[in-house]
């Protein structure tokens, strides 16, 4: 875990980044929306040989809600689906302790959460 602080207009913000999710758990190199839609669940490989992924915080970190920084709130996605979640016609239908259900591209998909 990497912690750092930054300041904007005399307000100090604390940020926590969970680097171990990407570097220590191969399971997280999969892009789960792609996999659930029957697409290749691995994005391109970076120069270091690891697959590129992005982490989507289902409950936005900025809301500072309980659980927003937990691994249960993260969904590994490809860059295209990450942008689609933020800017496209995608809706989170369910967020339970065990899974997420999204409506994306006219399909409802259920994605099991990572429970460590």
pLDDT tens digits, residue range 72-110?
A: 888 889 999 999 999 999 999 999 989 999 999 999 999
Please enumerate in sequence order all residues whose Cβ is within 8 A of that of 48, keeping only pairs 6 or more positions apart, or say none.
Answer: none
Please enumerate in sequence order all residues whose Cβ is within 8 A of that of 2, keeping only pairs 6 or more positions apart, or say none.
Answer: 16, 17, 19
Residue-wise pLDDT for 32-79, tens only, equals 999 999 999 988 888 988 888 898 999 888 777 777 777 788 888 999
In whole angstroms, give the CA distance from residue 30 to residue 21. Answer: 12
Instruction: Output the six-digit token pair for 16.
Output: 């926590």
Instruction: Output the six-digit token pair for 37.
Output: 């839609």
Radius of gyration over alpha carbons of the chain, in Å? 15
Three-state secondary-structure class, residue 81: helix
């Amino acid at each position: 875990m990497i912690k750092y602080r930054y300041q904007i207009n005399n307000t100090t913000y604390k940020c926590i980044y969970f680097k171990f999710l990407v570097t220590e758990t191969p399971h997280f190199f999969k892009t789960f929306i792609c996999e659930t839609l029957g697409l290749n669940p691995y994005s391109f490989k970076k120069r270091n040989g690891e697959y590129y992924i992005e982490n989507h915080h289902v409950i936005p970190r900025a809301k500072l809600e309980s659980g927003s920084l937990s691994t249960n709130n993260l969904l590994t996605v490809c860059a295209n689906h990450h942008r689609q979640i933020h800017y496209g016609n995608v809706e989170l239908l369910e967020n339970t302790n065990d899974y997420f259900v999204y409506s994306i591209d006219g399909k409802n998909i259920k994605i099991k959460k990572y429970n460590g």
